[in-house]
């Protein structure tokens, strides 16, 4: 029998920009989030550019410690230096001299201990692999307590008192600030590797007072409650479909009870909150329900809800504080509106709702609220789903309009309260925005009354009150940590993962993977990196949108329009035929391929029921550099919507007429 490699020879892996050199991987249990968490799509980012992948070993014997052993030694040493030859001895002596200058007078209480440098000679191949792993080109390369510092220049740039304090002993090996998906995964993995770990988590209430337990956005106010409410909406449609399939329903109107759903969702979330606390205890991670802030380079002041402050120290710190919703600067916005932080605990049915913003959060919430029977309007400034494929975004808009939702173009300028909300019912508010008069072409102010106004215009990193500026951690304009991989570019003992790391997708599974991989790298010497490309994701709109790889826009930007060929089609899910669902006219899929590389697939897109399940499965094909021919020779499962990817022959061209679906 042929091997997998021979049978699927076209699936030879192309090294990506940040792929690891051959890795020494350890395994970890699957996240309890599962595929549900993939519904948090990435922000708009420039089309990726090609850059060299990891070095390829030439299998020629070379002097030095083997790469795997060298990384282990550097990880376990207090101070280590990688070098390749005797010509680098002078710099190593200079490094030792800088460290020796830190020595205290013997009579000083608790003098700092300056160790001798552990010199680790490696081959030229290992040098390239280590430089790729750390993104440090300086050589010889210095490691302090398992953290890559850089070369002599980078060591000299560190403040002497910081360096001196770094060499001292601290209470913890690692302090994680943020108890969300990524922070918890990292804390548990570090503890599994035998490290002493503390995890701080504290949720500041939203402007209307909403707070929640351990687990972060995904568990409490994101992926999990969103997917459950999305399912509630879908079940409403299934009830109506059931009659077409022969089910006799009780007489009378079928109604949805918001309070029952809310309580069921919150009960499930509470069980997850408790489960995370149990897991931390079982892994011997110290959980501290306090707000952490740097008050020294290796010191955190942790303030609990009673304002009691505890000071703790560590050798390393991981920032995993996530994002919180943004608010526009308009009158009445924080007094009279809610965000996704509040929606899932809302004590009353939301009633007539205005969703402000074109983000996936806005569209997902609008979709499931409308599915539960509420009157929903979405107001957008410009395009939907910025950063996603705009052909797919426009198809989502058309489907949602056909589904019964309203879209307005504009930006709210003022909100006034008409009736105050209570614990049993929503209030009533008037929202104003400028709108173009179709007859005169002039802009005029219009207004409309709503019971609930959901702000979903974006999210920003929670890093302002963590004390990063105090110790010199560089941040981008969007407040995210600027990293060399996950390591701070300015303070080498500070790391960041997930939504607060600049330039990485804002996706829960990404944060979980990044946390685990990072812990194995910095505590176990693993030659392993998180792969931030070709990540499948799904937007849980009423008709789900799944994608992996490049959008049309990014593919054109990266490869040129003439080098792209797009295969596409529409389809009619069998389960929609008898029920005559309107959704059947909107299901669509496409593959974006490279003409000059044997039609390698670089983009996968589908608008369909259960898109998340389909996209997760096909994602591996893109990771393995599949060609269009591989999809063609794959035999489909009949009757499914996913099999449509195995029969694509229509090439998408400008000016084509709208496609029409047909049965099998």
pLDDT digits (tens, 9 = 90+) for 304-323: 999 999 999 999 999 999 99
Q: What percent of the chain has pLDDT over 90?
A: 81
How many helices, marked H, and strands, marked E, lie in the chain? Answer: 19, 27
The tens digit of pLDDT for each residue in 524-567 reads 999 999 999 999 999 999 999 999 999 999 999 999 999 999 99
CATH code linked to domain 172-325+460-524: 3.50.50.60
Structure confidence at residue 62 (pLDDT): 64
Any idea what DSSP says for residue 462? S
Structure confidence at residue 254 (pLDDT): 86
Residue position matching structure tokens 């759903």 = 261
Query: How far is residue 586 from each of residues 8, 217, 336, 397, 528, measured CA to CA in Å?
Result: 34, 31, 36, 10, 42
Where does the pLDDT of residue 87 fall: very low under 50, low under 70, confident under 90, or very high at 90 and above?
confident
Domain with CATH 3.50.50.60 in the chain: 172-325+460-524, 340-457
Stretch 420-443: mean pLDDT: 92
- pLDDT at residue 356 is higher than 80: yes
In Å, the largest CA–CA distance within the chain is 90
The tens digit of pLDDT for each residue in 604-660 reads 999 999 999 999 999 999 999 999 999 999 999 999 999 999 999 999 988 777 776
Q: 388-394: long-range contacts (C-beta < 8 A, 24 or more apart)?
A: 388/41, 388/539, 388/545, 388/547, 388/551, 389/547, 389/551, 389/552, 389/553, 389/603, 389/605, 390/551, 390/552, 390/553, 391/552, 391/590, 392/545, 392/547, 392/551, 392/588, 392/605, 392/607
Structure confidence at residue 108 (pLDDT): 78
pTM above 0.85, yes or no: yes
Stretch 34-63: mean pLDDT: 47
Quickly list H helices, 372-419.
Answer: 390-403
Which fold, 340-457? FAD/NAD(P)-binding domain (3.50.50)
- pLDDT at residue 424 is higher than 80: yes
**Whether the Cβ atoms of residue 321 and residue 300 lie closer than 8 Å to each other:** no
Domain with CATH 3.30.390.30 in the chain: 543-645
- pLDDT at residue 61 is higher than 90: no
Centroid of chain to Cα 202? 20
638 is catalytic: yes
Crossing angle of the two packed helices 258-282 and 223-244, in degrees rounded to 10? 140
Structure confidence at residue 53 (pLDDT): 60
The tens digit of pLDDT for each residue in 367-411 reads 999 999 999 999 999 999 999 999 999 999 999 999 999 999 999
The tens digit of pLDDT for each residue in 400-417 reads 999 999 999 999 999 999
Domain with CATH 3.40.30.10 in the chain: 67-167
Query: How far is residue 428 from each of residues 350, 380, 421, 446, 448, measured CA to CA in Å?
Result: 10, 21, 7, 17, 10
Any idea what DSSP says for residue 6? H
Name the class of domain 67-167.
alpha beta
Rounded CA separation 389/489 (Å): 32
Query: Up-side HSE of residue 98: CA atoms within 13 Å toward CB?
Result: 22
Structure confidence at residue 171 (pLDDT): 97
- Which of the two residues, 608 and 252, has the higher pLDDT score? 608
- pLDDT at residue 33 is higher than 90: no
Q: Which one of 170, 260, 586, 638 is the catalytic residue?
A: 638
- pLDDT at residue 59 is higher than 70: no
CATH architecture of 543-645: 2-Layer Sandwich (3.30)
Structure confidence at residue 6 (pLDDT): 41
Q: What percent of the chain has pLDDT over 70?
A: 90
The tens digit of pLDDT for each residue in 222-235 reads 999 999 999 999 99
Q: Which residues contact 621 (CB under 8 A, 6 or more apart)?
A: 11, 601, 604, 630, 631
Q: Which tokens hold the place of 157?
A: 């740039």
């Amino acid at each position: 029998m042929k091997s997998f490699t021979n049978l699927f020879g076209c699936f030879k892996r192309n090294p990506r920009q940040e792929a690891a050199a051959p890795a020494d991987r350890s395994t970890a249990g699957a996240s309890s989030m599962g595929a549900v968490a993939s519904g948090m799509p990435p922000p708009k980012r420039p089309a990726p550019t090609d850059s060299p992948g990891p070095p390829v070993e030439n299998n020629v014997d070379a002097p030095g410690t083997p790469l795997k052993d060298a990384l282990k030694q550097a990880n376990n040493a207090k101070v280590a230096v990688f070098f390749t030859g005797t010509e680098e001895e002078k710099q190593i002596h200079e490094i030792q001299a800088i460290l020796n200058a830190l020595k205290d007078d013997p009579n000083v209480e608790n003098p700092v201990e300056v160790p001798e440098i552990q010199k680790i000679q490696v081959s030229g191949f290992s040098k390239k692999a280590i430089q790729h792993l750390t993104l440090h080109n300086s050589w010889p390369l210095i490691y302090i307590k398992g953290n890559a510092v850089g070369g002599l220049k980078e060591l000299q740039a560190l403040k002497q008192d910081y360096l001196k304090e770094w060499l001292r002993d601290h209470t913890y090996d690692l302090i994680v600030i943020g108890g969300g998906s990524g922070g918890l995964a990292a804390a548990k993995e570090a503890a599994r590797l035998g490290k002493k770990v503390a995890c701080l988590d504290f949720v500041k209430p939203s402007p209307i007072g909403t707070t929640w337990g351990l687990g972060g956005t995904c568990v409490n106010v994101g992926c999990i409650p969103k997917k459950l409410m999305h399912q509630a909406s879908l079940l409403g449609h299934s009830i109506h479909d059931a009659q077409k399939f022969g089910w006799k329903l009780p007489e009378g109107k079928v109604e949805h009870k918001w309070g029952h759903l809310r309580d069921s969702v919150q009960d499930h979330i509470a069980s997850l909150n408790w489960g995370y606390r149990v897991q931390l205890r079982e892994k011997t991670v110290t959980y501290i329900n306090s707000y952490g802030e740097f008050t020294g380079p290796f010191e955190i002041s942790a303030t609990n809800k009673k304002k009691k402050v505890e000071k703790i120290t560590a050798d390393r710190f991981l920032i995993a504080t996530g994002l919180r919703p943004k608010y526009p600067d308009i009158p009445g916005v924080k007094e009279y509106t809610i965000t996704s932080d509040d929606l899932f605990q809302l004590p009353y049915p939301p009633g007539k709702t205005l969703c402000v913003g074109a983000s996936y959060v806005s569209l997902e919430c609008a979709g499931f609220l409308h599915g539960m029977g509420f009157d929903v309007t979405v107001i957008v400034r410009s395009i939907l789903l910025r950063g996603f494929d705009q052909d797919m975004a426009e198809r989502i808009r058309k489907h949602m309009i056909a589904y019964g939702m309203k879209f307005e173009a504009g930006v709210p300028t003022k909100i006034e309260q008409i009736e105050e909300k209570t614990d049993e019912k929503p209030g009533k508010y008037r929202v104003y925005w400028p709108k173009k008069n179709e007859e005169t072409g002039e802009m005029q102010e219009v207004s409309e009354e709503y019971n609930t106004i959901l702000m979903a215009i974006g999210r920003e990193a929670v890093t302002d009150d963590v004390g990063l500026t105090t110790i010199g951690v560089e941040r981008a304009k969007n407040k995210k940590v600027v990293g060399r991989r996950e390591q701070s570019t300015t303070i080498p003992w500070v790391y960041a993962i997930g939504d607060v790391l600049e330039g990485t997708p804002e996706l829960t599974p990404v944060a979980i993977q990044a946390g685990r991989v990072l812990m194995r790298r910095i505590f176990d010497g693993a030659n392993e990196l998180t792969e931030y490309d070709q990540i499948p994701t799904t937007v849980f709109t009423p008709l789900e949108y799944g994608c992996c790889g490049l959008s049309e826009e990014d593919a054109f930007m990266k490869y040129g329009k003439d080098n792209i060929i797009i295969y596409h089609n529409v389809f009619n899910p069998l389960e929609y035929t008898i029920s005559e669902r309107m959704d059947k006219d909107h299901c669509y899929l496409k593959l974006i391929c490279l003409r000059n590389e044997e039609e390698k697939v670089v983009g996968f897109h589908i608008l369909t029921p259960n898109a998340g399940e389909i996209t997760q499965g096909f994602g591996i094909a893109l990771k393995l550099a599949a060609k269009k021919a591989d999809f063609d020779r794959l035999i489909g499962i009949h009757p499914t919507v996913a099999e449509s990817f195995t029969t694509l022959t229509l090439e998408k061209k400008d000016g084509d007429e709208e496609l029409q679906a047909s049965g099998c």
